[in-house]
Each structure stands twice: as C-alpha cells, then as structure tokens.
A and B are shown apart, each in its own frame.
Chain A
C-alpha cells in the first residue's frame, strides 16, 4: 500500500503541493480508502510537532484528544464518505499534548474514472 502512496507522490502531488502550499497553512494529502496520510508539507511539523515520517501511513486521528469536538469528527466523516468539499473547525493536539484550533478545508481529488482517489486538506491555525 505504501508503495502506491509513494508512486502517487512521485507522479502527481508532491511537487505541485509543495509549489502551491501557502506560508502558514499545512497541506496534507490523504488517500482512499481509509484516508491514511500520504504527504504533509513542511509547515505541518511546525503546527503539530510531528515529523512527516511519524504520520505518513497513519490516520489524522493521531491528532485528536479529549477536547476534540465529536461533531467535527462527524463532519469529517460526512465529507469523506460523500466525497464532497467542506471546511471543519476542530481542536486537535500537538505531539507535546497541547491543544490547538485550526480550520481544515478538505477537497476531494477524483481520478480519470471520476472516483475520489485522494483528499487534500489545508490546515490553517485559528488565531486566539
């Protein structure tokens, strides 16, 4: 499975997402099914404290903790199950267990057959 993620990065997403990533937002690529992380931009580590190697192949639920809103998790599930775009505000946790709030804009990427093969998530911290 990891081989296919790597192939996707090599052939498609890596340079594009790196080139397009804006300064303070982290870019995360998720694959379907199961939506494991297959790519995170450099900013992700400064947001969360996790190195790419610590999250690649894992679920983003690694960021969740006691204050993570159940409603936000349900909203993510809705977007992923239905393959539709949306933005969710969620409280997550850094590697050092401190909470932070961010907005996560999720966008489906469809393959040539019209099926959702990946999601791109843009994670932007919310001030205050």
Chain B
C-alpha cells in the first residue's frame, strides 16, 4: 500500500489512506466482524487495526491482500478510484441472503407498491407462507 501511494502529494496520500480506512470498516461491518476479529486475520493487535481504519497508521499492502482474501473481494475494493488507473474492477460479491438483507428487501418491495389492495395481498401472502411453514413444522 505504501508503494502504491508513495508518489502521491501529501494531501492526496492522506485522502487515499482515509479511503482505505473507510473501506476497511465498511467491508468488516458488512461481514459482521469486530475490529478484534479483523485484527486476528492479519495478526496485529486490535489497537493497531483500529489505527488502520482511522487512517492513523498506513495499512501495508500485504495486510490489505490478506483481508481482501479473507473477505473474498479484490484488493481493489479497498483502494480509491481503481477504475481510473486501469486496474480491474473488484469481482462481484455473492449475494448474502441473511435475515436482515431479506427483511430489508421485503420492506423495500412493500414500500414500492402503490396500491393499498396490493399491499394487503402482499402481507396476506407472507402470512400464508408463514402459517403453512408453522403447520409443516408441527
């Protein structure tokens, strides 16, 4: 990472590391990890890892590669403006179908319905599926 930004002017370098820090935090929270758990991935202390997220320390490229590998993303996911530098875009992430994501999609779909009758049918459908599931489990 230090090599990747060493030619940048100081302000741009600060911005780059701030971006890396935000990306580290965003990807960690998407995966539901604590800072201590992320720190263990790269064998540093939680305090040191926090400095990377807060851009108070420069996260080395080998750490970014290790974290990218752990999260299943390209290392470019941590870097600013990769597309502008001709690097390959990050690989698309697989859809994580956990309960919160599904519920958010459900509510978003519901909010998108204009008609009150459609909304009612939507809810009745969900309730019917839930009831059927409940009976099946008995």
Which residues from B are CB-within-8-Å of A112? 112
Is chain A's interface secondary structure helix, strand, loop, or mixed overall?
Answer: mixed
List the interface of chain B (C-beta within 8 A of A): 22, 25-26, 29-32, 34-35, 50, 98-104, 106-108, 110-112, 119, 122-123, 126-127, 130
Contact between B127 and A71, CB atoms less than 8 A apart: no
- Count, A-B residue pairs, CB within 8 A: 87
Binding site for B on A (CB under 8 A): 11-13, 15-17, 19-20, 22, 25, 27, 71-72, 75, 78-79, 82, 84-89, 103, 105-112, 118, 120-122
Contact assessment for A87 and B104 in the assembled complex, using a CB-CB cutoff below 8 Å:
no
Q: Give the CA-CA distance A25 to B100 in the complex, in Å.
A: 10
When the two chains form their complex, are residues A107 and B25 in contact, meaning their CB atoms are under 8 A apart? no
Cα of A74 to Cα of B13 in the assembled complex, Å: 24
Q: Given A16-B123, A19-B123, A85-B101, does the pair A109, B108 have CB atoms closer than 8 Å?
A: yes
Q: Majority SS of interface residues in chain B?
A: helix
B104: chain A residues at CB < 8 Å are 85, 107-109, 120
- In the complex, A112 Cα to B106 Cα: how many Å? 15
Contact (Cβ within 8 A) B34 A20:
no
Interface pair B126/A16, CB less than 8 Å apart: yes
Nearest CB on B from A38, distance (A) = 12
Q: A16-B126, A19-B123 are in contact. Are A71 and B35 (CB under 8 A)?
A: yes
Q: Roughly how many angstroms separate A82 CA and B101 CA in the complex, as a whole number?
A: 17
Q: How far is A72 from B36 in the complex, measured between Cα atoms in Å?
A: 12
Closest to B108 in A: A109
